[in-house]
Structure 1
Amino acid sequence: MRILVTGGAGFIGRHLIRSLLKEKNEIIIYENFSNSSKQEIKDIINAGAKIIKGDLTNFKLLKRSLKDVDNVIHLAANIDIPESIKRPEKSHEINVTGSMNLLRASILNGISGLIGASSAAIYGDPKNLPVTENTIPNPVSPYGADKLAMEYYIKAFSNTFNFNSVSLRFFNVYGIDQSNAYAGVITKFMEKIENDKPLQIFGDGKHTRDYVFIEDLVQGIQKTLKKLKGKRGNIYNIASGRSYSVNELAKILLSIYGKKLQILHVSPRKGDLRFSSTSISLAKKELNYSPKYNLKQGLTKMLNESN
């Protein structure tokens, strides 16, 4: 299978492509390298993946790049929530207009299917938890609105032009080799702990997140690829199915490291969600998705692999 992966040099992309290559797929990485480098994917290039340097805003290059491609996995995005608040027009150009360019180019090349990486950010701060795919979206940041718009465009194009598609709503992904530019709270906590510095938590630390280990997320994407046929913009939550507060996360990490450090609570950030938990029942049922790691297991493996 010939697969084009946008944002393939990023954190999720690197892990996914290494796994896809093991299944003898032909991989094309479409990447602008704004937050990554070719050095980070040297092993992937050596394994035969083709690199095309380009932006989602370059429709002509996208059109050429998608020639003879079977399926597209769309990971490229501006995922910086605070930045999307400061510069919503830039976020929209990449996340929405860029996604539409990809869809248009995909249609012109007659691709079979497309998987779009969406986000839990589309839910905002829901009143009823856990959220399901039927929960009414209520984004509280331009980034969340961008991802929701992307989902609708994928569904609309899929229905109109009759190709297979799915949007996967990723929750808080973590794992080894996460890029510093977009490092999540886990990576930042680990850096602080390893340097014996206080942990900084925005707000009271009671806000909850569902942290999904990168290996489980990759499994979810690959199983979706195998189940794409006949789907028209179907939506699935990809998560661990269990939420933890940021305070709990800090305690688990400190216990794994066997350290006691000060925890500093600072002002909450604009656009951050308060509570987040989800049901993954639909993904389990229709995609055969089956996460294998709870938070402590994933963090322990992450720490062991980084040493």
Structure 2
Amino acid sequence: MKILITGGAGFIGSNLVRYINEHEPRAELVVIDNFSTGHAENLSERLVHVVEGSVLDEAALHIAMEGVDSVVHLGALGSVPRSVARPLQSHHANATGTLNVLEAARQHGVKHVLMSSSSSVYGSNPILPKSETDWTRPVSPYAASKLAAESYTIAYGRTYGMQTLAFRFFNVYGPGQRAGHAYAAVIPKFLDAALRGEPLEVHGDGLQSRDFTYVDTVCEVLLAACQQQLSWESPVNLAFGSNSTLLEVIAALESAMDQKLAVSHHESRTGDVRASRSDGRLMKELFPDVKPVDLQTGIQRTLKWFKQGDRTGVTGAQHSA
């Protein structure tokens, strides 16, 4: 089995390379990444062939696609605030980039393509928990670009007979997700501030909630989907129905560190949604053997990584709602 991972030097991608090396060592891995946000050192000790290039670089994509059985398309520009500041950049990377990956796969006869969408596509839909059949209403350029990307993925499956599957990620976190940049996700930002002895910055009242998913749980699902060559005719929520507010995340961090943490509240940010939670039904049907890592355990593992090494560099493909 030969698997191509786009954005493989970023947070989720490099964790997936590690996870497959550990759990399916016979698999041949190829990564394409232009290292604009990901880091080469994330792959330095991994068994993987690296093609340097962007998903907007058609020539590099064609090199990377040779002999591939499955594509896991993670290459993206994440972050709602980044997309608000630079909407065209997000569109090109996320929507056009996905179309380029799908077309390169089609031309090379690669039938199986998984792509990472986002729970942010639900946007202003107030229904909780969210099912894949619920309507979508993006409220940020990032969410709109991800909705376009998953639509192309499903369309290629229907039009060209490819086996495609669009996963909607729900706030993935874990080791390798660094904090030292303007668009860092909330859990690494909290961890970094806590370890520096600084107040944790909360936008709004802290009661906004998310379905946080530990990165190894995501990797387990992605590997299983490749092994099964699984496809689905509609997007699939890659989350299991947890529901944690930011204040509950802070409480879990306080428990892990065994100390009280200072918190500073700021204005809510444009494009952020109030609550995001999957019902988890379809995910549990498709992957009954996957047991998600609970928030407290995930926080403890992530805290251990933060204490061990460089946590301030920039990583790629920050998937968050």
Q: TM-score, normalised by structure 1?
A: 0.94
Write the distance in 1 (CA, Å) between the matches of 2:222 and 2:304.
24
Correspondence 1:209 to 2:197: no
In the TM superposition, what are the counterparts of 1:125-164 in structure 2 within 5 Å? Answer: 125-164=124-163
Alignment correspondent of 1:35: 37
Instruction: Tell me which residue corresponds to 1:234.
Output: 234
- Inter-partner Cα distance in structure 2 for 1:226 and 1:89: 35
Greater than 4 Å deviation, 4+ residue runs: none
For residue 281 of structure 2, what is the amino acid of its counterpart?
S
1:157-306 to 2 correspondences below 5 Å = 157-180=156-179, 181=181, 182-229=183-230, 231-288=231-288, 290-306=290-306
The question of whether the paired residues in 2 share the 8 Å contact of 1:10 and 1:179 is answered with no
Are 2:82 and 1:83 aligned?
Answer: yes
Give the secondary structure class of the aligned counterpart of 2:235. strand
For 2:236 and 2:211, the matched residues in 1 are separated by 15
Q: How does 1:64-143 map to 2 (within 5 A)?
A: 64-143=63-142
Name 2:312's counterpart in structure 1. none
Q: 1:83 to 1:305 in 2, by over 3 A?
A: closer
1:220 touches 1:289 (CA, 8 Å); kept in 2? no
Q: Is the 8 A contact 2:14 2:43 kept in 1?
A: yes
State the distance in 2 between where 1:263 and 1:306 align. 19
8 Å CA contact 2:156–2:164 kept in 1: the answer is no
Normalised TM-score (structure 2) = 0.90
Q: Matched residues in 2 for 1:195 and 1:62: separation?
A: 41
CA shift at 1:291, angstroms? 3.1
> What is the deviation of 1:289?
5.5
In structure 2, how many angstroms separate the alpha carbons of the residues matched to 1:60 and 1:233?
29
Mean Cα deviation higher: 49-58 or 249-258: 249-258
1:9-20 to structure 2, matched below 5 A, reads: 9-20=9-20
1:166-185 deviations in Å (ceiling 9; x for gaps): 01111011111213345321
C-alpha contact 2:117 2:150 (8 A) present in aligned 1: yes
Partner Cα separation in structure 1 for residue 204 and residue 260 of structure 2: 20
Structure 1 distance, partners of 2:305, 2:206, is 27
In structure 1, C-alpha distance between the alignment counterparts of 2:286 and 2:54, rounded to whole Å:
33
| Contact 1:154-1:233 within 8 A present in 2 as well | no
Which amino acid is 1:115 matched to? L
Which secondary structure state, in structure 2, belongs to the residue aligned with residue 43 of structure 1? coil
Kept after mapping to 1: 8 A contact 2:70/2:111? yes
For 2:234, what is the secondary structure of its paired residue?
Answer: strand
Deviation at 1:140, TM superposition (A): 0.7
Q: 1:234 Cα shift?
A: 3.4
Instruction: Give me the whole-angstrom Cα distance separating, in 2, the residues matched to 1:19 and 1:145.
Output: 30
Residue 218 of structure 2 aligns to which amino acid in structure 1? L
Structure 2 stretches lacking a partner, 5+ long: 308-321
Q: Which amino acid aligns with 1:56?
A: V
C-alpha distance in 1 between matches for 2:137 and 2:271: 12
2:30 is matched by which residue type in structure 1? I
Partners of 1:283 and 1:289 within 8 A in 2: no
The range that moved more, 74-83 or 56-65, is 56-65
**Which deviates the most, 218-227 or 103-112?**
218-227
SS at match of 2:157: helix
- How much has 1:233 moved relative to structure 2? 4.2
Which deviates more, 296-305 or 242-251? Answer: 296-305
Equivalent residue pairs, number: 303
Q: CA deviation at 1:26?
A: 0.5
Specify the SS of the correspondent of 1:101: helix
> Partner amino acid for 1:248?
E
Secondary structure class of the residue paired with 1:234: coil
Cα shift readout 1:62-100 (whole Å, capped 9, x = no counterpart): 123212111100000010211211221111111111111
The one-letter amino acid of 1:158's match is G
- Give the corresponding residue for 1:25: 27
The amino acid that maps onto 1:79 is G
2: CA distance, partners of 1:154 / 1:205: 35
> Cα RMSD between the aligned structures?
1.5
Amino acid at match of 1:214: V
CA distance in 2, matches of 1:262, 1:124: 30
- Cα deviation, residue 302, structure 1: 2.3
Give distance in 2, aligned partners of 1:63 and 1:186: 36
